[in-house]
Amino acid sequence: MTELIAVVTLTLLAVISPGPDFAMVSRNSLSGSRAAGLYCALGISLGVLVHVGYTLIGVGLLIQRSLWLFTLLKFIGAAYLIYLGVQMYRHATAAPAHAATPVPHISDWRALKTGFLTNVLNPKTTVFIVSLFMQVVNPQSPLWLQIGYGLFISLAHMLWFGCVALFFSAPGVSARFLRLRRGIDRLFGGLLVTFGALLALSNLSR
């Protein structure tokens, strides 16, 4: 019972903490559509399952103990975040400032892919899930229970970011933010570049 409470508590705290996932869902919901935000949230939850999967089969332990492999993954994640941020900032700079300009359509597949890659390449999620299963979950716990924990973590991400998408895509909210679309894209683009840069610098300082 103590293990279950620890898993639930730590998962909820990790899910609601700000990061690249939140930035991408918020931006897609504001500048895209409700569907774009929800598909991005779905992509994030599927990305979580990838982390859970490799952790359960033992690759997570290898990542935890192999400094060069984990560092490589962190640099790849940092580069992807910087790429997304630069693309977002460039789009904001090139877009017309007129409030009535239609918002470019974000396909469901693109939103899903962006959410998935943002989470899969996010070292924060790697560290969280590997640490959770290595330090909190008892290795003697049945496999079905460990899989259940993984499904819960994925579902928690889907529900939280789904709520974020619904909030930011609500007509009253999105209409107000739409007039500030260029500024929003610049803000979230800058945040993603900052996340990526801090991630890369944390590796160089080691």
pLDDT-derived band at 71 (thresholds 50, 70, 90) equals confident
pLDDT computed for residue 100 by the predictor: 44
**141 φ, ψ to 5°?**
-65, 140
Percentage of the chain modeled with pLDDT above 90: 25
Has residue 99 got a pLDDT over 60? no
The identity of residue 181, as a single letter, is R
Has residue 114 got a pLDDT over 60? yes
Q: Mean of the pLDDT values across residues 93-106?
A: 53
The one-character DSSP state at 110 is H
More confident residue, 187 or 98: 187
